Amino acid sequence: MSYSIRDQQARCAALGFNPGPIDGMLGPKTREATSAALRARGGRSVSDLFHPSGLHRIHLHWTAGAYGVIDMERRAYNELIDQEGNVHQGVFRPEAQATYRIGHAASHTLNANTGAIGLSVDAMAGAVERPFNPGLSPITESQIDALCERAAHYAILYDIPVARSSILTHAEVQPTLGIRQRFKWDITWLPGMDGPGDPVAVGDRLRRKITAYVEDWRVAA
102: DSSP letter: B
Same domain? For 202 and 120 the reply is: yes
pLDDT tens, residue order, the chain (221 aa): 789 999 999 999 999 999 999 999 999 999 999 999 999 999 999 999 999 999 999 999 999 999 999 999 999 999 999 999 999 999 999 999 999 999 999 999 999 999 999 999 999 999 999 999 999 999 999 999 999 999 999 999 999 999 999 999 999 999 999 999 999 999 999 999 999 999 999 999 999 999 999 999 888 87
d(CA 108, CA 111) in angstroms, rounded, equals: 9
pLDDT for position 218: 84
The answer to whether 77 and 119 have CB atoms below 8 angstroms apart is yes
Same domain? For 141 and 171 the reply is: yes
Same domain? For 39 and 98 the reply is: no
Q: Which residues contact 184 (CB under 8 A, 6 or more apart)?
A: 170, 171, 173, 174
d(CA 120, CA 143) in angstroms, rounded, equals: 9
Q: What is the domain count for the chain?
A: 2
Same domain? For 27 and 92 the reply is: no
What are the two backbone dihedrals, phi and then psi, of residue 215, each rounded to the nearest 5 degrees? Answer: -65, -40
d(CA 137, CA 64) in angstroms, rounded, equals: 9
Q: Which residues contact 173 (CB under 8 A, 6 or more apart)?
A: 59, 109, 112, 179, 181, 184
Same domain? For 111 and 148 the reply is: yes
Q: Which residues contact 31 (CB under 8 A, 6 or more apart)?
A: none
Same domain? For 150 and 213 the reply is: yes
Residue 26 is part of which domain span? Answer: 5-49
